[in-house]
């Protein structure tokens, strides 16, 4: 059976107190919407429809980046979850498979759970995802009779007895497209909130003698985000899970709770991560690397045996080959550092390539930006760049070339050549003492006068 995802993302998220629509707030540097869409993608959906409302243009732009095939439909007024799903009907014209309803603000549902829901569809017309709530609070309650789900009662509409139920509605469901839209037509808004409840589908299905069941998942998967505090908690949950996975894979985290990971951080086994390292999106670190304390990495690739930090910054496009060393207070951006090359102290290497086994002296700067355009610096293999060198791009340094300390290199240096570009030193014998004596005498005169 083919599936289509309908992802609800029109809600305002008032309690986020933000100009950014709630579903675009990030957890581990990917929006909640991206997390939800990624989980849904595991079902290999034929179509994906996102229902947007508040700040719909921002949502539309985000969706286009996450999945250009996904369609965004507008729910101009937020009249309830049932009303929201109906907005996807036109976009799903002609689709006869199963519809999986996801929430954009429920980012942690696992692909495994979604697959269990699909599996349960073989025995029921409508499948709801429920969970045992530690604190059921204001969740909708699932009224079960054995395997069969009789109805969902919203907290506001529930009796005391129903409020005592702890098996709650996550909001996620699977239903055949034809049944779903036929039943949605019948949903009214005569309830405590005056909203069109998606949850009414359960009772409407029962009236038609259709079968309805619930699948249970861990409460952590249904964690919804309504406030910044929830967002911080969701991030913490993600971090704890991702760190545990890395430890399991054979990565050493010296102080796991101080390492901040992104949703897509990949680290190979036997790599050691020292305390207080931050991973932005798009980082892969191969096996057997060492990332030392207080380093910040994003959009980069670190190969086997490389040593990074402490206090190193790898920015997008930093490509470190095997056994490279990037030391303290070094920034690398959009640059390939070939095997065995070293940039150990206080340098900026941007828009550049550094050849094999080349040594970049302390304080070397690639001057890549002229105020308007960016230019490249190419450095060959086994070259030696003296300390405190400015490489004014575009510029090329050949293999085994050498630049003297303190040089401002504006012209290419051929392979094997030595470039010196600094004012020559003159020594004045005895002048230092003379100068000091003169200054001390002057000070003595001033304090008398
Ligand atoms: C809903 C469920 C409740 C469940 C809870 C789980 C209904 C009637 N109730 O309640 O049983 O326990 O979720 O979190 O479905 N949305 C729209 N358009 C709308 C309204 C909502 O897109 O008009 C979206 C929201 O952005 C959100 C999701 O649907 O992603 C859920 O809406 P929300 O208002 O949070 O529903 P709850 O009242 O929490
Ligand atoms: Mg909610």
How would residue 1 be classed by pLDDT, with cut points 50, 70 and 90? confident
- Spatial neighbors of 179 by CB under 8 A, at least 6 apart, are 125, 126, 205, 210
Domain-terminating residue out of 203, 222, 241? 222
Looking at the structure, tell me whether residues 211 and 254 fall in a common domain. Answer: no
Residue 179 falls inside a structural domain: yes
Residue 99 falls inside a structural domain: yes
CATH number at residue 320: 2.160.10.10
Residue 445 falls inside a structural domain: no
Residue 439 falls inside a structural domain: no
| Ligand 1 centroid, distance to 139 Cα (angstroms) | 10
**Which candidate, 59, 298, 86, places its Cα nearest to that of 200?**
86
| Ligand 1 centroid, distance to 90 Cα (angstroms) | 21
Looking at the structure, tell me whether residues 218 and 254 fall in a common domain. Answer: no
Looking at the structure, tell me whether residues 283 and 138 fall in a common domain. Answer: no
Looking at the structure, tell me whether residues 294 and 330 fall in a common domain. Answer: yes
Residue 437 falls inside a structural domain: no
Active site residue 83: no
Q: How much is the mean pLDDT over the chain?
A: 97
Pocket test for ligand 1, best of 5, 11, 56 (most atoms within 8 A of CB): 11
Other C-beta atoms lying within 10 Å of the C-beta of residue 244? 12
Ligand 1, atom nearest to 224 Cα: 14
Looking at the structure, tell me whether residues 171 and 254 fall in a common domain. Answer: no
Q: Which two tokens stand for residue 166?
A: 């702890």
Residue 337 falls inside a structural domain: yes
| Ligand 1 centroid, distance to 11 Cα (angstroms) | 8
The pLDDT value given to residue 441? 97
pLDDT per position as a tens digit, 38-93: 999 999 999 999 999 999 999 999 999 999 999 999 999 999 999 999 999 999 99
Looking at the structure, tell me whether residues 31 and 129 fall in a common domain. Answer: yes
Residue 34 falls inside a structural domain: yes
Gap between the Cα atoms of 336 and 318, Å rounded: 6
Domain count, the chain: 2
Looking at the structure, tell me whether residues 211 and 263 fall in a common domain. Answer: no
Mean pLDDT within 320-324: 98
- Spatial neighbors of 182 by CB under 8 A, at least 6 apart, are none
Nearest CA to ligand 1 atom 3: 140
| Ligand 1 centroid, distance to 9 Cα (angstroms) | 9
Ligand 1, atom nearest to 82 Cα: 15
Mean pLDDT within 17-26: 95
Domain-terminating residue out of 178, 207, 222? 222
How would residue 356 be classed by pLDDT, with cut points 50, 70 and 90? very high
CATH number at residue 203: 3.90.550.10
Mean pLDDT within 426-442: 97
Nearest CA to ligand 1 atom 36: 81
How would residue 314 be classed by pLDDT, with cut points 50, 70 and 90? very high
Looking at the structure, tell me whether residues 215 and 255 fall in a common domain. Answer: no
Looking at the structure, tell me whether residues 62 and 164 fall in a common domain. Answer: yes
Nearest CA to ligand 1 atom 35: 11
| Active-site residue, selected from the candidate residues 83, 301, 325, 345 | 345
Please give the angle made by the CA atoms of 275, 280 and 285, to the nearest 5 degrees.
70
Looking at the structure, tell me whether residues 257 and 406 fall in a common domain. Answer: yes
Mean pLDDT within 265-291: 98
| Ligand 2 centroid, distance to 111 Cα (angstroms) | 21
Q: Which domain holds residue 68?
A: 3-222
pLDDT per position as a tens digit, 331-345: 999 999 999 999 999
Looking at the structure, tell me whether residues 277 and 144 fall in a common domain. Answer: no
Mean pLDDT within 154-166: 96
Q: Which ligand is nearest to the CA of 195?
A: 1
Looking at the structure, tell me whether residues 253 and 110 fall in a common domain. Answer: no
The pLDDT value given to residue 12? 85
Residue 435 falls inside a structural domain: no
Tell whether the model's pLDDT for residue 449 goes beyond 90: no
| Ligand 1 binding residues, C-beta < 6 A | 8-11, 51, 53, 75, 78-81, 83-84, 103-105, 139-140, 152, 154, 168-171, 197-199, 224
């Amino acid at each position: 059976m083919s599936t289509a995802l309908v992802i609800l993302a029109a809600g305002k998220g008032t309690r986020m107190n933000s100009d950014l629509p709630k579903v675009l707030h990030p957890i581990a540097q990917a929006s909640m919407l991206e997390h939800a869409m990624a989980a849904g993608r595991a079902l290999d959906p034929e179509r994906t429809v996102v229902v947007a409302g508040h700040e719909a243009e921002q949502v539309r732009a985000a969706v286009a980046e996450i999945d250009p095939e996904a369609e965004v439909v507008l729910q101009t007024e937020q009249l309830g979850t049932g009303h929201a799903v109906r907005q996807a009907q036109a976009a799903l014209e002609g689709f006869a498979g199963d519809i999986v309803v996801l929430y954009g603000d429920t980012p942690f549902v696992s692909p495994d759970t979604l697959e269990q829901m699909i599996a349960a569809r073989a025995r029921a017309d409508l499948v709801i995802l429920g969970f045992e709530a530690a604190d059921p609070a204001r969740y909708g309650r699932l009224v079960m009779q054995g395997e069969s789900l009789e109805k969902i009662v919203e907290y506001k509409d529930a009796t005391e007895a129903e409020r005592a139920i702890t098996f709650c509605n996550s909001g996620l469901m699977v239903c055949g497209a034809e049944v779903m839209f036929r039943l949605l037509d019948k949903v009214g808004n005569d309830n405590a909130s005056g909203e069109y409840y998606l949850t009414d589908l359960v009772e409407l299905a029962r009236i038609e003698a259709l079968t309805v069941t619930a699948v249970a998942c861990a409460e952590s998967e249904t964690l919804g985000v309504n406030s910044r505090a929830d967002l911080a908690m969701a991030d913490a949950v993600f971090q704890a899970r991702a760190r545990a996975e890395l430890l399991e894979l054979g990565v050493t985290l010296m102080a796991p709770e101080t390492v901040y990971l992104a949703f897509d951080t990949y680290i190979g086994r036997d790599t050691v991560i020292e305390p207080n390292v931050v991973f932005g999106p798009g980082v892969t670190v191969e096996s057997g690397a060492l990332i030392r304390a207080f380093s910040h990495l994003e959009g980069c690739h670190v190969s086997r045996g490389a040593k990074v930090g402490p206090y190193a910054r790898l920015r997008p496009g930093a490509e470190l080959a095997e056994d490279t060393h990037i030391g303290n207070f070094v920034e690398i951006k959009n640059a390939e550092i070939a095997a065995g090359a070293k940039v150990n102290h206080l340098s900026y290497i941007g828009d550049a390539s550094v050849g094999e086994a080349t040594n970049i002296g302390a304080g070397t700067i690639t001057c890549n930006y002229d105020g308007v355009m960016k230019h490249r610096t190419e450095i060959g293999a086994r070259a030696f760049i003296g300390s405190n060198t400015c490489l004014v791009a575009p510029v090329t340094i050949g293999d085994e070339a050498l630049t003297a300390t303190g040089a401002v290199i504006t012209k290419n240096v051929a392979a094997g050549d030595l470039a010196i570009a600094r004012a020559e030193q003159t020594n004045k014998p005895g002048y230092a003492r003379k100068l000091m004596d003169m200054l001390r005498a002057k000070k003595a005169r001033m304090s008398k006068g």
